[in-house]
Amino acid sequence: MHVMILGAAGMVGRKLIEKIAREPLAFGRPVTRLTLADAFQPPVPESLRSVSTALTVDLAGAGAADRLIEGRPDLIFHLAAIVSGEAEADFDKGYAVNLDGTRALFDAIRQAGLAASAYVPRLVFASSIAVFGTPFPEVIPDEFFTTPLTSYGTQKAIAELLLADYSRRGIFDGIGIRLPTICVRPGAPNKAASGFFSNILREPLVGEEAVLPVSDNVRHWFASPRSAVGFFVHAATVDTARIGARRNLTMPGLSALVSEEIEALRRVAGDKAVALIKRVPDPMIERIVAGWPTQFDAERASSLGFKAETSFDEILKVHIEDELDGRIA
């Protein structure tokens, strides 16, 4: 089968590529062709080099979507996006990529299907819990309305609506998945407001200090990078007849306090690791985080077989296995 990943150079894209390299039958059939596209040059693992094409492309560029769909991929992962902060700062760029780029992709599939019969690929779209905006209940149910408070969340919510309508019309077979905050996020500390959730685990595990800018009793919604990849693989293969018309699903996750993160770190790496967490309250980050969802009842996705971690001990175990070769400082 021909698999295409848009946004292949991002963190989840890279992990998905690694998964395909490790498990060539992850989608049931062998991947005989792999198209990797991103605004930045995507990485291609050695073992996939013979079947892969890596493209540097701007999804919002004229004709870009049509060229991507020319090769009639059977399975499309659409992970490409201008991230939240940039979409808020640059109105035009956010709408151009996250809305117009997504719609161009969807319409390119439609045109391909009109031109050649029976082209109806599976399309898995990375949505976000940013489609929700305060105020919301402590535990957000599957049927709660989407009232985003950012342009990014608005663009994701619109893409979800388009995905459902195009799927209903049989243009493609789409699923939108709303990811929890990915933790432990690999790589260097970044300046995202959510970065500290990962930093306070990742850095102490390698003997480095990390800053905690919020109080210990902040609650948030998490899943590991391994679970995120698992969501995408499951979405690629699940029987969509079971999903019906409501194609956008909040993924399961772990609702946990910062203090639970810290206690899991203590169990795994001891007091000396915990001592590397420096408390430096940042009222602005406190305020931003206070506007984020803390827990979902992801009943629909769970009943469809999507799975995430159920404790921070598991999330740490995944990180240590996948990123640290099983070794901690």
Binding residues vs a copy of itself (CB under 8 A): 91, 133, 142-149, 151, 154, 157-158, 161-162, 164-165, 168-169, 245-246
Nearer to a copy of itself, 151 or 194 (CB): 151
Rounded Cα gap, residues 8 and 27, in angstroms? 17
Closest CB 288 distance from a copy of itself, rounded Å: 16
Three-state DSSP class for residue 141: strand
Is residue 152 part of the annotated active site? The answer reads: yes
Q: Which long-range contacts (CB under 8 A, 24 or more apart) does 322-327 make?
A: 322/186, 322/225, 322/226, 323/184, 323/186, 323/202, 324/205, 324/206
Closest CB 246 distance from a copy of itself, rounded Å: 5
Cα distances (angstroms) measured from residue 201 to each of 94, 194, 206, 255: 31, 13, 9, 16
Closest CB 179 distance from a copy of itself, rounded Å: 18
Nearer to a copy of itself, 103 or 219 (CB): 103
Report strand pairing: 122-128 vs 75-78. parallel
Catalytic residue among 95, 119, 152, 166: 152
Closest CB 138 distance from a copy of itself, rounded Å: 14
Return the amino acid letter for 268: V
Contact yes or no for 281/214 (Cβ under 8 A): yes
Nearer to a copy of itself, 42 or 148 (CB): 148
Three-state DSSP class for residue 71: coil
Which DSSP string corresponds to 225-284? Answer: HHHHHHHHHHHHHS-GGGTTT--EEEPP-EEEEHHHHHHHHHHHHHHHHHTTEEE---HH
Return the amino acid letter for 213: P
Closest CB 252 distance from a copy of itself, rounded Å: 18
Rounded Cα gap, residues 80 and 97, in angstroms? 8
Nearer to a copy of itself, 164 or 324 (CB): 164
Nearer to a copy of itself, 132 or 312 (CB): 132
Active site (catalytic) residues: 152
